[in-house]
Amino acid sequence: MDNLKIEQMECARIPTEYGEYRLCLYKNNQDEKDHLALVYGDVGGKHSVLVRVHSECFTGDVLGSRRCDCGEQLQQAMQLISEAGAGVIVYLRQEGRGIGLLDKLRAYNLQDLGYDTVEANLALGHGADERDYSIAALILKDLGVRSVRLLTNNPEKIACLKASGFKVNERIALEGAVYDDNAYYLFTKAHRMNHLIDLVPLPVRSSRKNGNGKNGSHSSMAV
């Protein structure tokens, strides 16, 4: 995002089961979304700060949906940061890999017909992943973070932070549970989106009707 600027509007104390965080709300000059930073402990001027850059997922974060691993990753990040004594979760309001909640629900319906998560986004006229992490980099700079240990399975987040001038000293994987409802999703993230997930074979996935009305099938693997 060219000429991107952010402004911290307000911070407040947020007590959680993982300890006491500060929640800071940021405005920016590129969109009308309220991006957030959940800060634990003292991170200003610190190196190797434990950081999770997390994209909003209403279904996973709030409802505990098992169609993805987002909510579990968020909870794991909060726990690991509290155990470390300091860290940041940058919560970016880019639902559904940037396509918004409405089209995310439409994509879910396509996935129920057998499309994978990439195919569904493309069928709706979107890119496979429309997220941008530039705001996260600016938020971390505003908080005084000097370098990070990044909680992620997504190499794009590492590349973006590095391109923004951040040193990523370490990548720490977040491994969630595998359910029937998210196994193919995890497989797709690993094989089509290059996420760093260990895989083991799983049975052939249920079939769907392809464009000519005939049944097709996808074999799948997942963590």
Closest by Cα among 202, 197, 196, 195 to 181 = 202
Q: Which CATH class is domain 6-94+131-177?
A: alpha beta
Query: Residue 144 CB: number of other CB atoms within 10 A?
Result: 12
Told to judge if 180 belongs to the known catalytic residues of this protein, a careful annotator would answer no
**pLDDT of 61 above 80:** yes
As a whole number of Å, the end-to-end CA separation of the chain is: 34
Indicate the pLDDT class of residue 207, thresholds 50, 70 and 90. very low
User: Residue 155 has which token pair?
Assistant: 């190499």
206 DSSP assignment = P
CA distance 81 to 52: 9
Higher pLDDT, residue 67 or 183: 67
CA distance 173 to 73: 10
> pTM value?
0.84
> Cα–Cα–Cα angle for 121, 182, 50, nearest 5°?
90
> Which candidate in 129, 132, 149, 171 is catalytic?
129
CA distance 122 to 213: 19
CA distance 52 to 86: 12
pLDDT digits (tens, 9 = 90+) for 142-166: 999 999 999 998 888 999 899 988 8
> Which candidate in 42, 131, 146, 198 is catalytic?
131
What pLDDT, on the 0 to 100 scale, is given for residue 214? 37
Closest by Cα among 102, 134, 129 to 26 = 134
Q: Domain spans of the chain?
A: 6-94+131-177
Closest by Cα among 82, 56, 81, 86 to 71 = 56
What pLDDT, on the 0 to 100 scale, is given for residue 199? 61
* Residue 160 φ/ψ, nearest 5 degrees: -65, -45
Q: What value does the mean pLDDT take over residues 46-57?
A: 96
Q: What value does the mean pLDDT take over residues 97-125?
A: 93
